[in-house]
Copies of this chain bind each other. A is one copy, B any other.
């Protein structure tokens, strides 16, 4: 029997849960080919992420926060299936495909400060695989358990290889104690298969709280022992770029300081989606875009 596409990274109960070494590169260009200094590119290559202090200015942060407030107050947006609204508080927690809802966020996805860096990492033209805004409240922020985005995108969206980059732009200050992102540096070089078969329509639950696509405690213990944990902290306007396979998660936020960010995922046009590798059918386009037109 032959299959059209080889599955280099079997997961979701389709193989023994043994870690698989990454086969493809992390950085797809040579030295001196873009705005990121070579030493920083090297650290991205080994850690799987890099932070950019104050990528956007305080004036831009203020404008984007106003845009988020406007979106969250818009009844049409709140009723849209792309908005994740908390049951108890009726607060908007996320809005997906937000670069097709908001003109300022569409412009941000094309901003040369972001796009230039992303193309440098991925070595090709890119398109938006997913975009969203996240709003984590103070006092009751829930956090998100450890996961590799690529594991989900591969299993549920059909992304063949690890050739995607996420950019998170902080619109609030990230302290070590208000639920900011934790990452395991170097974890992007290991694919951790996750147990369990993917239920149909899994995304409806997994956007709130992930139960499938969760690494075992043993795998996480080994990864954390090997790599340690780092946190993304910094003032509003700072950005984090991270590899699609970097193991990451976030804890709760009981502080009065809320967190919000804009999250943009760029995939290489040479890595476009096939059928899902570990799910009955693809997730909807607002979670995993299938318009592969390069950003220009």
Contact = CB atoms under 8 A, between A and B. Distances in A.
A249 B252 CA distance: 12
Interface string A33-54: 0000000000000000000000
B146 A177 contact: no
A223 to B, nearest CB: 8
Interface stretch (A10-18, A253-261, A266-274): A253-261
B139 A220 contact: yes
Given A217-B256, A254-B249, A257-B224, A231 B143 contact: no
Interface in A127-180: 138-139, 143, 145-146, 175-177, 179
Q: How many copies does the complex hold?
A: 2
Contacts of A224: 255-257
A250 B254 CA distance: 8
Contacts of A139: 217, 220
A221 B143 contact: no
Given A177-B182, A182-B177, A253 B251 contact: yes
Nearest to A217: B139
A145 B231 contact: no
Contacts of A143: 252, 254
